[in-house]
Structure 1
Amino acid sequence: MKTVRRLVYGEILTAVAFVLLAFLALFSFFDLIDELSGLGRPSLLQPGERYTIADALLHVALLLPSRLYELMPIAVLIGTVYALARLAQGSEFTVLRTSGLGPGLALRLVALLGVLFALVTFAVGDYVAPWAERQAQLFKAQFRGGISIGQTGAWLRERAEGTHTSVNVRALAPNGELQGIRLFVFDDRGRVQQTVRAASGSIDAEAGVWRLRDVERQRFDDPQRTLRETLPMLDWPSTLSADMLTVALLKPERMRTLDLFQYVQHLQANEQTTQRYEIEFWRKLFYPLSCVVMVVLALPFAYLHFRDQGLSAYVFAGILIGISFFLVNSVFGHIGNLQGWQPWLAAAAPSALYSLLSLAAFAWLVLRR
């Protein structure tokens, strides 16, 4: 069995590594082309420095872990289909079957390798990719002015005794400074008590305050008049941390699983909608398991015959299956968000569907043919 495992795993690992390397090279080339338009842009932190080709290559290199995380399942599918089909084409898999490699043993053999791929995908997606993505954004922000989402930036909400505050931060500067801060304080009846606008600020986590600069403050305590004041500095008590703000400025799919869970808890505590982030949380949990689904999808190709069609046709079929899986996975996520489905159902349904289809195809090929 050790010899069989060495043969099958060696073929699959080699094929997957080759496919993954090819995909990473292709997508890195596309990323580099996108970065060429920014060459020559001046740095905001280091006067005199400009965005060079070396900076573009560094930015592309920092995006590689995220690309690897995204491409791993489809690379596993294509590589496994190629490896198993090649073994079948050379009659090596037929020899293994006549030597005692039954369907159940073959399924268990590739499933164990799929678990290994899933662990690697989880480690990269939960530890390496979020850190690298954050560094890439901070690095690029030196030449673009800050990290932001859309036109208005990040919105957060914080509840306190008798009041609740809506917080808007337009962007996060490369040095960690907050830019374009707006605070709206409401009472229990939903009436505005005061608004605060600040050009910039920083978070002092130890003191539990936001240190705001160039502040314009409006109070509505007196219904007859509005009190306006301009302050050079203002310490605003807040429990919102820098990590929480950074999480809000990152795309949900780029967050760590723990950060997503904590952010969902924060949104629930402040009575904000969590559907989108809950779906992304469950997708982060189920996405590595798609590697197991991919190797199970590839296993029926080892039981096909190659008299009429060549190896390339089966590899192309594997690519189409992989693309369809990711399309269905994405569509289920959007539909689940729009229709208010259970987050775990919207995230798990595509993997469960394709697992059943692959097991059905495997059973039909083995038992009926």
Structure 2
Amino acid sequence: MRVIQRYFTSEITRSVLFALAAFLALFAFFEMMGQLEQVGRNGYKLQQAVFYVLMGLPGNVYELMPTAVLIGTIYTLSQLAARSEFTIMRVSSMSTGMAAKVLLRIGVGFAVLTIVFGELIAPKASEWAEKLKLQAQGASMSSQFRSGMWAKDVIKDKGLEGNVTGSRFINIQTVQPDGRIEGVKLYELDTDFHMARMVTAKDGMYEGNHQWVLNEVVQSDFTGGGNRKITEPVKTVKIPQMKLVSEVTPEILSVLFADPDRMSAYDLLAYTKHLEANNQRTDRYEIAFWKKIVYPLSIFVMLALALPFAYLHFRAGGVSLKIFTGIMIGVCFQLINSLFSHLGLLNTWPAFMTAALPSLLFMALAIGALWWVERT
């Protein structure tokens, strides 16, 4: 079995890498066509567009890995079947279960590679690409709302610890590529949701350890809270510089612009906890988190779907037909995976079920196909 394991591993790995490279070249070509339309505008140069496309490839590797594994494995098994090698292996006492174990061991490596790209490489590469593009164009990040972006955190009497004394709504007009925030407004409410303080600042910079430094600050205190009379004056002071302790960090702000599917599971979990602490909806990010957990397991589903093709050498057409079938299965898997994410969000399905159901459906399809080819 060791010889068969090494043989299968080398052949399948070579085919998968070839399929993945072909897909990456195709996606990079179309992405480059889209970037060329922006070259020359606001100082955006060709080399920066090329770098932007290259930095997007790790994300494509993560998304395309299951499909590449499916196509590469189908090609390899079809070739073995066409050369009657797989038949000889079966005659030599290799059962379907043994073949499945061989593919399972190969799938572990591809699953680990998928996790590495999805958790470590792709999120950082996407972040660098966006920052480079914004710096090249002299632009800044802002939300789709005219009032800028909004975030919420709680106010505690000891900074990040202690008793909750109120809540804070943070409004930021723009976030520069270097992390500087501009047009900052803070609305602080007491535990009875009465306005206690309003702070405006020209800009601010993150110092680390949940501390921001705000510049050119105007602070207005509303004494008396909900019992304040209209005739009571509002105390307003101007402060050249002020430190702000907040649970909101640059990582949390970057989430407001990022696609949840391109974020790491760690960042999704941290942001979900932040939303839960502030009594905000977490459905979208919970679904994205569980998709990150389940997605590497789809490698094994694709390998299970590819295995029946090894038994079709007497009943099917050429290798090209099988590869085309594999491409269609891979496309259907991606479409259904995306469809269930939207359906789960609209119908408030449990996040884990929404993420796992597509893989379970295709695994059931693979088991049914194996049962059929063994009986016929």
SS in 2 for 1:210: strand
Distance 1:149 1:103, change over 3 A: farther
Q: 1:87 to 1:171 in 2, by over 3 A?
A: farther
Question: 1:195 & 1:115 partners in 2: Cα distance?
Answer: 54
Contact 2:44/2:133 (CA < 8 Å) preserved in 1? Answer: no
CA contact (8 A) 2:114 2:296 kept: yes
Q: 2:243 aligns with which of 235, 243, 256?
A: 235
* One-letter amino acid matched to 1:145: A
* 2:368 pairs with one of 353, 360, 363: 360
> Which residue does the alignment assign to 1:47?
none
Q: Tell me, in whole angstroms, the C-alpha distance in 2 between the residues paired with 1:308 and 1:108.
A: 25
| Change over 3 Å in CA distance of 1:132–1:194 after alignment to 2 | same
Unmatched runs of 5 consecutive residues or more in structure 1: 43-49
In the alignment, what sits opposite 1:319? 327
Conserved? CA contact 1:66–1:133, under 8 Å: yes
Distance 1:253 1:171, change over 3 A: farther
For residues 300 and 125 of structure 1, the distance between their equivalents in structure 2, rounded to whole angstroms, comes to 29
Partner of 1:173: 176
Q: Which amino acid aligns with 2:355?
A: A
Residue 145 of structure 1, aligned match among 139, 146, 159: 139
Residues 105 and 308 of structure 1: is their aligned pair in 2 closer, same or farther, counting only changes over 3 Å?
closer
Indicate whether 1:211 and 2:205 are aligned: no
Q: In 1, Cα distance between the equivalents of 2:128 and 2:119? A: 15
| Match of residue 154 from structure 2 | 159
Query: Which residue is 1:253 aligned to?
Result: 261
1:45 maps to which residue?
Answer: none
Residue 310 of structure 1 corresponds to which residue in structure 2? 318
Distance 2:183 2:366 in 1: 52
- Other-structure match for 2:161: none
Q: Deviations over 1:191-237 (max 9, x none)?
A: 3333334342112225x532223445554444416746665544333
Q: Distance in 1 between matches of 2:173 and 2:303?
A: 44
* Residue matched to 2:158: none
SS for the counterpart of 1:38 is: coil
Q: How far, CA to CA, are the matches of 2:94 and 2:204 in structure 1?
A: 65
**2:130 aligned with 1:124:** no
SS in 1 for 2:285: helix
Alignment counterpart, residue 49 of structure 2, candidates 39, 43, 56: 56
Letter in 2 for 1:62: M
- Summarize the alignment of residues 1-369 of structure 1 with structure 2, pairs less than 5 Å apart: 1-42=1-42, 50-142=43-135, 143-151=137-145, 154-160=149-155, 161-206=164-209, 208-215=210-217, 217-221=219-223, 222-224=228-230, 227=234, 232-306=240-314, 309-366=317-374, 368-369=375-376
SS, match of residue 37 in structure 2:
helix
Q: Is the Cα–Cα contact under 8 Å of residues 59 and 139 in structure 1 kept in the other structure?
A: yes
Paired-residue identity, %: 39
> Deviations 1:294-347 (Å, cap 9, x if unpaired)?
111111111113555222221111111111111111111111112121111111
Structure-2 change in CA distance of 1:81 and 1:148 (3 Å): farther
* Separation of aligned partners in 2, 1:322 and 1:283: 17
8 A contact 1:85–1:302 mirrored in 2: yes
User: What's the TM-score once normalised by structure 1's chain length?
Assistant: 0.90
- Tell me if structure 2 keeps the 8 A contact 1:115–1:289: no
The letter of the residue matching 2:165 is G
The amino acid across from 1:212 in the alignment is: L
Contact 1:178 1:201 survives alignment (8 Å): yes
Quick one: distance in 2 between partners of 1:166 and 1:154?
A: 10
What do you get for the CA RMSD once the two structures are aligned? 2.1
Task: Please say which of residues 221-230 and 330-339 is displaced more in the overlay.
Answer: 221-230
Q: Which runs of 5+ in 2 are unaligned?
A: 156-163
Shift of 1:125: 0.7
SS in 1 for 2:296: coil
What is the TM-score with the length of structure 2 in the denominator?
0.89
SS, match of residue 162 in structure 1: strand
Count of residues in correspondence between the two structures: 360
